[in-house]
Amino acid sequence: MNVTTKLTGLLVILLVGVVIGLQTAERGISKVSGLPDVQTQTFYIKQMDQGKMEIAVMGKQVQTANPEKMVNYMSNMGLTMGSTIKSGAKTFVDWVGSFFEP
């Protein structure tokens, strides 16, 4: 199997484990402190009225009333990185191609 695939799989497993661990630790701390039903700061999904949902990851709200317009930071970052790499590769190819022009 490709090394990149293995590394990606391990990183995904690690990320899921960290989120589950943080959530478990937060629940344990709230049980010990005795605070009544406080919204978790790690990850929570709350169903609002008429099928609308509210999602928060690490205390930051990522989805509100309109599910179609969900903010996906990783997707935006990936698109930005992809366009940057694409423009850099195009510039590099044009630069190398300029050596072979008559």
* Parallel/antiparallel/unpaired status of strands 43-47 and 53-57: antiparallel
- What does the pLDDT profile of the chain (102 residues) look like in tens digits? 688 888 999 999 998 898 888 888 877 877 777 766 665 566 666 666 676 667 777 666 665 555 555 556 667 777 888 899 999 999 999 888 888 877
Whether residues 85 and 55 share a domain: the answer is: no
**Are 17 and 33 part of one and the same domain?**
yes
Instruction: Say whether both 57 and 86 belong to one domain.
Output: no
pLDDT of residue 76: 76
Q: Are residues 76 and 65 in the same domain?
A: no
Residue ranges making up the domain that contains 24: 3-69
Indicate the pTM of the whole model. Answer: 0.39
Residues 87 and 57 grouped into a single domain: no
- Please check whether residues 86 and 50 belong to one and the same domain: no
Q: How many CA atoms lie within 13 A of 8 on its CB side?
A: 5
Q: Does residue 49 sit in the same domain as residue 17?
A: yes
Give the HSE-up count for residue 67: Cα atoms under 13 Å, Cβ half-sphere. Answer: 9
Q: What is the pLDDT of residue 27?
A: 79
pLDDT of residue 41: 63
| Whole-angstrom distance, CA of residue 8 vs CA of residue 34 | 39
Helix or strand holding residue 54 (H, E): strand 53-57
Cα separation, 19 vs 57, in Å, equals: 9
Number of domains in the chain: 2
Burial class (CB in 10 A: 0-12, 13-18, 19+), 57: middle
The predicted structure's pLDDT at residue 89:
92
Regarding whether 101 and 88 lie in a shared domain, the answer is yes
Same domain, 30 and 62: yes
At residue 84, the pLDDT reads 92
Angle at 15 between CA 11 and CA 19, to 5 degrees: 170
